[in-house]
Structure 1
């Protein structure tokens, strides 16, 4: 729409750069997307990126007319302590380490790694619940069933109210990624609920995570190591980290200043 519009866009927001995504996924028409992205930036007066990584991976090379403002979470607007409790919700077992993941069930989300970790730890008291839908949902459900794993479940689509309940009930949040992670929203959602988060050492994630100590390499051994490390980090101020950097108040203030400057 921004390319075809008669009028120039005053402000354009970039989550993941178009050419970058088509290149890493080896899209056959990625050269065309390179041209489209170039044209798009020429037709924008100002560009908003959600992370330094998103800016770095874009074709926007100007040192002017852009700003980096992170995402925030709409869960702040919910009355978290007064939500309807869904009695049909699949619950975590009470006597295990409860690991929660919110991902689109696709190749870049590395659900295969979580399945491999669950298989490795099937004799341990640890459980993985994964919320999200996507093209590989049925594939991984069948794989989990064939492996006979009872410590991992794919939940499919989960409503906001139920997502909040899972965030509240879990012990930690796990966010694996291979590529195409311009920010990492489940990371800050975990912090909103004062939970430790471990995530892949890729893309924009190192810029969002509270400390490099919570980053893992995309191997089974590295994830397992960080799972046990994060479980013991009870003194970290995860909620404060969210409030100071990603809260509605902080992000709205920055965007409000941006809008005023563009008027």
Structure 2
């Protein structure tokens, strides 16, 4: 992998907080790709046409899912590229997990012989260009940020809605602290990078609920990075408005987010919280 590819992937760690939204859409499309396969859907028809040389059903299933995904986001205005960043991560995970299936790697390498992407989608060339190989380290870092984000969203959403026991909320807080402290130690020698910056910001956001988490027994104290006081202060300023936004959510909005969290699905909450951040 080139240094350019690695640099590009690291520049967008801050977008991982939005990944649950895209993960939800992709899961929905995966679930219904079989239905599309058995219809006269134009995307499915095209995918079946090019399938014979590249693995049959696996190709068709992935082809339908990817093109439906891109077509959906292409219709949203303004066109955003965060959905491409999530898909790039997803393909890298698939490639590493299913090493024997070369299809994922071919897509990431930009193999045009696949003809897997539907050129009638207006911005398809731009989307394809953003699908890049990620190093094992970058994928691991995104995994960590994803895990932190999930525990954080479970905690704050259920806390704001109410009805959850303290024990349940404390389990989310404890898991968050465990993941964070395991990850942050890697930043002690060098915290001047995008990944460590995101970890610091997660700590600041989590500590907005410190009055509650301090009541949890045996929860780990969140470690601080020696010498990173300025970075923490900057994060505090950046997220100073979030508490106000969360407190004004309607019960309906929070209930929607809570139901979605069960499958790490569309999180209206993170869109509202982060609308002034990204």
Question: What TM bracket, shorter-length normalisation?
Answer: under 0.3
Question: Larger % of strand: which?
Answer: 1
Greater relative CO, 1 or 2 (CA 8 Å, sep 6+): 2
TM-score, normalised relative to structure 1: 0.27
